């Protein structure tokens, strides 16, 4: 942070109401939908979603890879919608 007279600047932008900075612009949050095989006879699959490698939700068991992946994706969408609409 630098000062010029009574004005303050952070990364070249003046500190004032409404000013906006991106903190650590190289940081990216990554979601991943993953599918886990629990059994091959009969086929049993579960899905999970990770956020930067941390498991944040898991699904129940499903009969196909596609069902498990879709269940995880839909569960993530439902959770995000619930959290963001409550804000």
Radius of gyration of the CA atoms of the chain, in A:
22
Q: What fold, for 2-86?
A: Double Stranded RNA Binding Domain (3.30.160)
What secondary structure letter does DSSP report for 63? Answer: S
Residue 39 has pLDDT above 90, yes or no: yes
DSSP 3-state assignment of 3? strand
**Stretch 31-43: mean pLDDT, rounded?**
95
**Stretch 7-36: mean pLDDT, rounded?**
88
Joined tokens for residue 67: 């069902």
Contacts of 43 (CB under 8 A, 6+ apart): 37, 63, 64
pLDDT digits (tens, 9 = 90+) for 41-68: 999 999 999 999 999 999 999 999 999 9
Task: Using a cut of 0.75, tell me whether the model's pTM lies above it.
Answer: no
Residue extents of the structural domains in the chain: 2-86
Output the average pLDDT for the chain. 90
Nearest to 52 by CA among 73, 35, 30: 30
């Amino acid at each position: 942070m630098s000062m010029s007279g009574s004005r303050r600047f952070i990364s070249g932008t003046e500190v004032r109401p409404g000013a906006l900075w991106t903190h650590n612009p190289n940081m990216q949050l990554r979601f991943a939908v993953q599918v886990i095989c629990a059994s091959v006879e009969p086929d049993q699959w579960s899905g999970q979603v990770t956020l930067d490698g941390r498991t944040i939700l898991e699904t129940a068991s499903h009969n196909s890879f596609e069902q498990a992946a879709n269940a995880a994706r839909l569960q993530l969408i439902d959770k995000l919608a619930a959290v963001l609409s409550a804000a």
